[in-house]
Structure formats: C-alpha cells, structure tokens
Amino acid sequence: MKIKTPLFIVFEGIDGAGKSTQANLLFSFCRAISPAVLLQEPTNSQYGKLLRKMLKGEIPGTRDELLDLFIKDRAYDVEHNITPSLSKGYVVIVDRYFYSTAAYQAGDGIKPSDIVRMNIERGFPVPDRVYFIDIEPAIALERIHRRSGDNKEIFETLQTLETIRKNYLSIADSTFAVIQGSLGVEDMFQEVLKDFEKHFVTG
C-alpha cells in the first residue's frame, strides 16, 4: 500500500463536530505507511496564542482583528510547517485551515467566498481534499457541553453554529468530502477512509 505524496489534507467542521478525532485517526493510518505530520490551527505561534485568549473571551477581539490574526497565524503555519513538510514529500493533515476563517469570520458584508479568495491570493496552498464533518448544530452543542462544561468559546451558541455551518456549505466545492457527523466515531472514520483510499492510496 502506498500513499500518493506529497499530500495535503484538511479537516473542517463546526465546534463539536468531532473533526479532531477523525484527523487523529487518519494521521495514525497514514503514519504507519508514510512520513506524515498532523497540524492544527490556530497554531502555537504568538498570533495563535493571542487568538486562543480572544476565543475564550479572556481578551476582546473584533471580527477584523480576528480575521487579521488568523491570516497572520496561517502565514506562519504555511511558512514554518505546511510548505516545508510538503516539500519533503510528507502527508500533511491540518485540523482547520482557511475554510474555518471563511465560515467563522464572514459577515458584515464579507462573504465566505471572499475570504477563501483572500487566502488563495495570499498564496496559501490549496489542499488536495477537505473532510468536512457535517453535524446538526444542536447535536454539536450537546457534545460541547458534555466535553467542556461551562468553559465555552465565543462561537459556541446555537445560532452562531447554524450560521457557520451554512457558511461552510456555501463554499463546499469539489475538494470537499462531506462526512455525516451524526455517525459514531468508527463509522465516520470508515467513510473518511473509503474516500481517502479511493483518491490517494495505490497498491
């Protein structure tokens, strides 16, 4: 079995969709047969650290400030992590990428597709596949409550998650594989793997 490399895979979904679990499972699968890295945005850069504080509501941040910081954090990730790993022929799996910025920071006259375009114009590489874990916002919110109690982040309300999901669906193009997030962890991973093997695994 061989994976077509270099390969750039992204996982996306609203908070509580279960995408990080799926990203981890695919990473374990890939790592057994190919050099691979698993990355996450926001990163641990100075921008990422600031963003995490804003997301928790510990320090204020306007939409424009968030948008600017997510782009700066991504520029850091592309320069230091993504491009070097792709150049080495790795499988690169990223938990959230510019589709998150499009879905979460759209509004006030800026469309999700405008934000995608802005990121592509910045020269950020376009992934080979996006696994979008699609889930009903109400179910996602239940999972968030179970996981983190009252430690909620600023986007974790029903209405906000509904808007974010709609934004994601508005930018879903042919690189997107939509995975039903209502399935259990194992069944969801079988769906991801089926698609992954069809496109990127030979032998």
Residues of the shown chain interacting with ligand TYD in the complex, contacts defined by CB under 6 A: 15, 20, 41-42, 55, 70, 95-96, 100-101, 104-105, 153, 155
Nearer to ligand TYD, 3 or 179 (CB): 179
For 177, phi then psi, to 5°, come to -115, 120
Nearer to ligand TYD, 3 or 92 (CB): 92
User: Which residue sits closest to ligand TYD, CB atoms considered?
Assistant: 104
Q: How far is the CB of 47 from ligand TYD (least distance, A)?
A: 11
Nearer to ligand TYD, 17 or 177 (CB): 17
Nearer to ligand TYD, 15 or 134 (CB): 15
H or E, element range at 50: helix 46-55
Q: How far is the CB of 154 from ligand TYD (least distance, A)?
A: 7
Nearer to ligand TYD, 3 or 38 (CB): 38
129-147 residues labelled b (16+ CB within 10 A) or e (exposed) = bbbbbbbebeebbeebeee
Closest CA to 168 of 9, 41, 15: 15
Nearer to ligand TYD, 34 or 167 (CB): 167
Closest CA to 108 of 67, 50, 58: 67
Q: How far is the CB of 15 from ligand TYD (least distance, A)?
A: 4
Q: How far apart are CA 35 and CA 23, in angstroms?
A: 15
Q: How far apart are CA 174 and CA 33, in angstroms?
A: 26
Which residue type occupies 106?
A
Q: How far is the CB of 100 from ligand TYD (least distance, A)?
A: 4
Neighbours of 158 (CB within 10 A): 11
Q: How far is the CB of 52 from ligand TYD (least distance, A)?
A: 7
Q: Yes or no: say if 37 and 85 are a contact pair by the CB < 8 Å rule.
A: yes
Q: How far is the CB of 85 from ligand TYD (least distance, A)?
A: 18
